[in-house]
A and B are shown apart, each in its own frame.
Chain A
C-alpha cells in the first residue's frame, strides 16, 4: 500500500530529469563556452571544468534519456551493471545467476535489441550481437545513460528497444588526487578499485585499476534433489581485473584531444542450472580504446574519432575473438538559431575468428541529425541513417521526434513528447557464418515504433516532483530465431512481434530543515506479442514473449539528515512465461533492500564516503530464470577514500 501511495504521488532521479529536460543546444553550447573560458583564463588558477564530450541527448526530442544516479553507481561499486539496472530501474535483465550472463531487454525486445556504447563506440559483440551486462563493472565508467526507445537513426544497428551509454567524464583543473573504492560483501565479495587523477587547465589524466572477486557460494534450495536440500552454490566463482587510462589534452583554445583505454578481464565458473553438473569455465577479455579530436569553431564542432574494440571469449577450450576498428567523422553545426545539424560517417572494419569460422566485413554508415527550434516551446529532431554492411543496404532509418512545452509556470511545467522511428539490427556474424547452421541469406531485423509521452515537473521552494509517462508501440519484423533443423540449429527471419507498453517514472525530493526525503520510482508495463508460428503445430501466435515480465516496478524511498541517508529499495518483477506458447511460467517476486549512506566526510586531507547495504532483506527465494539459483539476504560495505 505504501508503494501504491508513492506511485500515486508521483517518482526518478533529479539528476536524470535534469539530463533529459535540459536538452541539446543549451547544454552543448554551455560546454563549449566553459571550454573557451577555460582556455582564455588559464592564468586564473585551477578552475574545475568538465572535459567536453558530445551531448548524447541533443538530437533526441520526443524520447527519454535517463542518467543513472551517482549515488546508485557508488552503491554498486565493482558489481556488474546488470545488478544495478535490475535493482534500481524499471528495466528487466535475463540473469543466469549472480555475476553470470545478464542480457537486457528494453521494451519487450530481445537481448540483442539494444545498442551499447562506451565513449561513443558501439561495444555489442559483432558475433553475438549483444553485451553481457554482468561483466561491465560499475566503477569502470563515470556515467551511465539509458536511451529508451528506438534509436536506429541515432546509433545504428541493434538500437531497436533502446541504447545504453557508458561514458568517461574527465575534469580539468583538479590537481592530484588518489582514490580508493572498496566493496566488501557476502559470499566472498571483494571489489577493490584504485585510481589516480591529475589535471591542470590543459591536461587531464586518470589511471584506474580494479579487481573484483566473488566466491558466490550462497546458500540456495536445490530443487533438483530429493528433499530439496539447502545447499551452497558451487562452481559460480567470479574474478575480474581491469585497467583504464583516460587522457584529455587541450592542444589549443579551440582544439581538444581525448582518449580512453580500457582493458577488462573476467574469469568465471559458469553456475550450472539446477539439476546439471556442468563445470564450464568462461574467460572474457575486452580491450577498448578510443581517440577523439575536437575542433571548435564559432558555431561548428568537428569531431574525428577512431577506436578499437577487441573481444575474446573463451568458453572451456573454445576460443572466439572479434575485433572492430572504427573511423568516425562528424560535424555538429548550429546553422542558425533555428537549425542545428550533425552530419557524419562511420566506418567499421569487423574481424571475427570464431571457433567454427572466420569472417571479415566492412560497414559504412552515413547519418544526418537535425534539430529544429521552431518556437521557444517547440523543438523537433529529424534523424536519418543509412547503414551498409558487406555491400548490403540495411533498412534506411529515419526518425522524427518533437517536444512541446504545453505550459510552463513557476510551479508547473508540462511537456508533450512524440516520436516515430525506424530501427534495425543486422544479423550477427554467428547468425550468418556459424558452422554448421549459419544462414547467409538472413535479412536485417527491422522495426517501426511510435511513442507519446508526457513529462510533468512540479517545483516549490522545498519540493520538486518530476514525472514522466510514456506510451509506446513497436512493430518488429524479420526477427531472427534459431531453430533445430535436422542435426543442427539454424537461424531464420521468422518472427514478427508487436510490442506496446507504458513507462512511468517519478522522482521527488522534499527538504525540510536539515531533513530530506527522496522518492524515486519506475513502473513498466510491457506487452510483447508474437504474431507468428514457426510451424503448423506451434502455438506461439498471440502470446507474450518468454522471459518478458508484463509488470516491473521499482521504487526507492530515502530519508537524509546531514551526512547520513537511509533508504529502502523495492523491486517487483511480474511472472514470466518460460516458453513461447505461454504454457508454463515463473512466479513473480518482490525484493527489498535497505541501505545507509554516509556522504562526503573530511578528516584533514582525507575525504571519503561510506555505504552499507542489505540486499534481499527478507531472504526471499526467487529465480529470474527458471532453475537458476539467486542469492538470499546478503550484505555489502562500501568505503571510498580520497586524498
Chain B
C-alpha cells in the first residue's frame, strides 16, 4: 500500500508536473490573428479641411473590403488627416497631421488611447524606451514656414500628455531608431538630426543633399531617402557612427516622396510631371547603382500612394481622384499590368501589408 502510495506519489508528482506544464502551455495557446492583423491596411489621408482620414482593410485572398474600420470599431470618426500608420509595441499608431495620434489595438482597431492635445502638424512616430516620439512641423509662421519644428515626447505608450518638445530642424518627417539614438529626417531644413534617447536632446545635425523624408533598410543597410527637382538620393548611414557614408544618386526628375521597396534591391517611386500635362507615373529604380530601370512601369493621373506586396508580388498604387470623392486602389502585377481596382477611402495614401 505504502509502495503504491510511493509509486502514485512519484508518478503523481510526474503527472502533476506534466499537468502543470501542459496547463501552462494551455494558458499560452497560439493566439489566433486578429481581424486586421492579416491582409492589407489601406491608409486614407482624408481631404484638407474635412478631417475624414480613415483606415480600410482589404483581404487579397477573398477580395473583401472593410471600410472605415476605425469608426466602425470605436463609434466615432477618426477626425483627422491620416499621415502615418506605425506598428510598435503591440499597438498601431495612427498619426494625423492635424495634431493628433490615435492608438489602437492592431487586432481589432479598438482604441487604446490618444495624444490629442499639444501637437500641431504631426507627421510620424517612434516608440522607444516606453515612450513615444512624435515628429511635428510645429505651427506655421506668417509665411507658412515651419521654424519651430519639434519632436514631442510622451511618457506612455498609450498616449496622454506631452512631457517635452525637442526642437529640431524645420519639418521633421520620418524617424528611425538606431541603438539609443533617434534619427530624424528634416525635409525643409535639409538636415538629418540625431537625438539621444538617453537625454532626449538633439546631439547632431547633418546637412544632406536634397530634401530628406524618411528612412528605409535594404539588404542590411540603412538609407535616408531624399530628393530635389532632378534627383533622388539614397544616403547610406553608418548605424554606429551615424554618419552618411555614401550616396546613390538617381537621376529621376519630378519624383515625389512616395516610394515602395520591392525587396529585390529595387524601388518603386511615383513621379508627376505637374503642369500642364499632369502625367503621373511609377518608376522602378535600382538601389545599388541608382539606375532608372523603367521610368513608367505604370502611368496615370492622381497617383498618390504606393506599396509592394512582397508575398504576392503585386504593386498597390492609389489614385486620389482629385479628392472630390473617395480614391481608388489599383493592383498591378510586377510588370505594371493592371489586375484589379477597388474603392478605398478619401485620398488613399499608403499601405501596410501584414
Show the binding face of A for B, using Cβ within 8 Å: 223-226, 228, 273-279, 316-318, 436-437, 481, 483-488, 490, 534-540, 543, 578-584, 626-627
In the assembly, what is the distance between CA of A483 and CA of B321, in Å? Answer: 9
In the assembly, what is the distance between CA of A543 and CA of B113, in Å? Answer: 38
- In the A-B complex, the 9 residue pairs with the smallest Cβ-Cβ separation, listed nearest first, are A486-B274, A581-B325, A275-B79, A317-B142, A224-B79, A537-B328, A277-B99, A276-B98, A483-B322
**Pairs A–B under 8 Å by Cβ, sample size 9:** A224-B76, A224-B79, A225-B114, A226-B74, A317-B142, A486-B275, A535-B302, A579-B326, A581-B321
Q: Out of B116, B140, B274, name the residue touching A224 (CB < 8 Å).
A: B116
B142 touches A535 (CB 8 A): no
- Cβ of A273: which chain B residues have Cβ within 8 Å of it? 49-51, 79, 98
A223 touches B76 (CB 8 A): yes
Q: Out of A224, A481, A538, A579, name the residue touching B100 (CB < 8 Å).
A: A224
B324 touches A579 (CB 8 A): yes
- Cβ of A583: which chain B residues have Cβ within 8 Å of it? 325-326, 343
- Cβ of A540: which chain B residues have Cβ within 8 Å of it? 324-325
B325 touches A224 (CB 8 A): no
B117 touches A277 (CB 8 A): yes
Interchain nearest-CB distance for A330 vs B (Å): 41
Interchain nearest-CB distance for B254 vs A (Å): 8
In the assembly, what is the distance between CA of A473 and CA of B158, in Å? Answer: 55
B119 touches A579 (CB 8 A): no
A275 touches B321 (CB 8 A): no
Known A-B contacts A223-B77, A279-B139; the reply to A539 vs B320 at CB < 8 A is no
- Cβ of B141: which chain A residues have Cβ within 8 Å of it? 317
- In the complex, given contacts A274-B79, A317-B142, A579-B346, what are 6 additional A-B residue pairs having Cβ atoms less than 8 angstroms apart? A224-B80, A226-B74, A318-B142, A580-B324, A583-B325, A584-B52
B319 near A: Cβ within 8 Å? yes
- Cβ of B330: which chain A residues have Cβ within 8 Å of it? 537
Interchain nearest-CB distance for A499 vs B (Å): 18
In the complex, which of the residues B47, B98, B319 has the most CB atoms of chain A within 10 Å of its own CB atom? B98
- Cβ of B111: which chain A residues have Cβ within 8 Å of it? 226
B278 near A: Cβ within 8 Å? yes
B98 touches A535 (CB 8 A): no
Interchain nearest-CB distance for A630 vs B (Å): 16
Interchain nearest-CB distance for A485 vs B (Å): 5
- Cβ of B80: which chain A residues have Cβ within 8 Å of it? 224, 275-276
Interface 0/1 of B212-235, CB less than 8 Å to A: 000000000000000000000000
A485 touches B77 (CB 8 A): no
Interchain nearest-CB distance for A139 vs B (Å): 31
In the assembly, what is the distance between CA of A226 and CA of B112, in Å? Answer: 9
B98 touches A484 (CB 8 A): no
A228 touches B326 (CB 8 A): no
A487 touches B272 (CB 8 A): yes
A490 touches B275 (CB 8 A): yes
In the complex, which of the residues B52, B74, B322 has the most CB atoms of chain A within 10 Å of its own CB atom? B322
Nearest A residue (CB) for B98: A276
In the assembly, what is the distance between CA of A552 and CA of B51, in Å? Answer: 26
Chain B's interface: helix, strand, loop or mixed, by majority? loop
In the assembly, what is the distance between CA of A467 and CA of B76, in Å? Answer: 43
Interchain nearest-CB distance for A528 vs B (Å): 14
Nearest A residue (CB) for B330: A537
In the assembly, what is the distance between CA of A432 and CA of B62, in Å? Answer: 48
B325 touches A538 (CB 8 A): yes
Those of B72-121 within 8 Å (CB) of chain A: 74, 76-80, 96, 98-100, 111, 113-114, 116-117, 119-120
- Cβ of A224: which chain B residues have Cβ within 8 Å of it? 51, 76-77, 79-80, 100, 116
In the assembly, what is the distance between CA of A277 and CA of B343, in Å? Answer: 30
B341 touches A537 (CB 8 A): yes
Interchain nearest-CB distance for A47 vs B (Å): 55
Nearest B residue (CB) for A625: B50
Known A-B contacts A225-B114, A228-B76, A317-B143; the reply to A578 vs B273 at CB < 8 A is no
Interchain nearest-CB distance for B137 vs A (Å): 13
B323 near A: Cβ within 8 Å? yes
In the assembly, what is the distance between CA of A387 and CA of B111, in Å? Answer: 58
B301 near A: Cβ within 8 Å? yes
In the assembly, what is the distance between CA of A318 and CA of B119, in Å? Answer: 23
A486 touches B278 (CB 8 A): yes
B120 touches A277 (CB 8 A): yes
Q: Out of A223, A228, A318, A535, name the residue touching B319 (CB < 8 Å).
A: A535
In the assembly, what is the distance between CA of A312 and CA of B129, in Å? Answer: 51
B98 touches A277 (CB 8 A): yes
Q: Out of B113, B139, B278, B300, name the residue touching A485 (CB < 8 Å).
A: B278
Q: Out of B52, B114, B320, B327, name the residue touching A626 (CB < 8 Å).
A: B52
Nearest A residue (CB) for B113: A226
In the assembly, what is the distance between CA of A277 and CA of B100, in Å? Answer: 9
- Cβ of A538: which chain B residues have Cβ within 8 Å of it? 321-322, 324-325
In the assembly, what is the distance between CA of A583 and CA of B326, in Å? Answer: 7
In the assembly, what is the distance between CA of A278 and CA of B49, in Å? Answer: 10
- Cβ of B321: which chain A residues have Cβ within 8 Å of it? 534-535, 537-539, 581
Nearest A residue (CB) for B304: A484
In the assembly, what is the distance between CA of A626 and CA of B327, in Å? Answer: 19
Interchain nearest-CB distance for A440 vs B (Å): 12
B326 touches A225 (CB 8 A): no
- Cβ of B142: which chain A residues have Cβ within 8 Å of it? 316-318
B302 touches A277 (CB 8 A): no
A484 touches B320 (CB 8 A): yes
- Cβ of B50: which chain A residues have Cβ within 8 Å of it? 273, 578, 626-627
- Cβ of A487: which chain B residues have Cβ within 8 Å of it? 272, 274
- Cβ of A584: which chain B residues have Cβ within 8 Å of it? 52, 326
Interchain nearest-CB distance for A105 vs B (Å): 17
Interchain nearest-CB distance for A581 vs B (Å): 3
Nearest B residue (CB) for A224: B79
In the assembly, what is the distance between CA of A578 and CA of B337, in Å? Answer: 33
In the assembly, what is the distance between CA of A177 and CA of B275, in Å? Answer: 61
Known A-B contacts A226-B113, A539-B343; the reply to A275 vs B319 at CB < 8 A is no
Interface 0/1 of B141-152, CB less than 8 Å to A: 111000000000
B343 touches A535 (CB 8 A): no
Nearest B residue (CB) for A577: B325
Interchain nearest-CB distance for A289 vs B (Å): 31
Q: Out of B99, B320, B322, B323, name the residue touching A276 (CB < 8 Å).
A: B99
Known A-B contacts A273-B49, A486-B278; the reply to A535 vs B116 at CB < 8 A is no
In the assembly, what is the distance between CA of A224 and CA of B52, in Å? Answer: 11
Interchain nearest-CB distance for B157 vs A (Å): 15
In the assembly, what is the distance between CA of A273 and CA of B120, in Å? Answer: 14
In the assembly, what is the distance between CA of A578 and CA of B54, in Å? Answer: 14
B326 touches A581 (CB 8 A): yes
Known A-B contacts A485-B274, A579-B325, A627-B50; the reply to A535 vs B301 at CB < 8 A is yes
- Cβ of B114: which chain A residues have Cβ within 8 Å of it? 225-226
Those of B20-76 within 8 Å (CB) of chain A: 47, 49-52, 74, 76
In the assembly, what is the distance between CA of A538 and CA of B326, in Å? Answer: 8
Interchain nearest-CB distance for A2 vs B (Å): 33
A537 touches B319 (CB 8 A): yes
- Cβ of B117: which chain A residues have Cβ within 8 Å of it? 277
In the assembly, what is the distance between CA of A253 and CA of B302, in Å? Answer: 67
Interchain nearest-CB distance for A575 vs B (Å): 16
- Cβ of A276: which chain B residues have Cβ within 8 Å of it? 51, 80, 98-99
Interchain nearest-CB distance for B259 vs A (Å): 16
- Cβ of A483: which chain B residues have Cβ within 8 Å of it? 322-324
A275 touches B113 (CB 8 A): no
- Cβ of A228: which chain B residues have Cβ within 8 Å of it? 76
B302 touches A627 (CB 8 A): no
A275 touches B51 (CB 8 A): yes
Nearest A residue (CB) for B67: A583
- Cβ of A582: which chain B residues have Cβ within 8 Å of it? 325
- Cβ of B52: which chain A residues have Cβ within 8 Å of it? 578, 584, 626-627
Nearest A residue (CB) for B271: A486
In the assembly, what is the distance between CA of A538 and CA of B143, in Å? Answer: 34
In the assembly, what is the distance between CA of A277 and CA of B119, in Å? Answer: 8
Nearest A residue (CB) for B74: A226
- Cβ of B302: which chain A residues have Cβ within 8 Å of it? 484, 535, 537
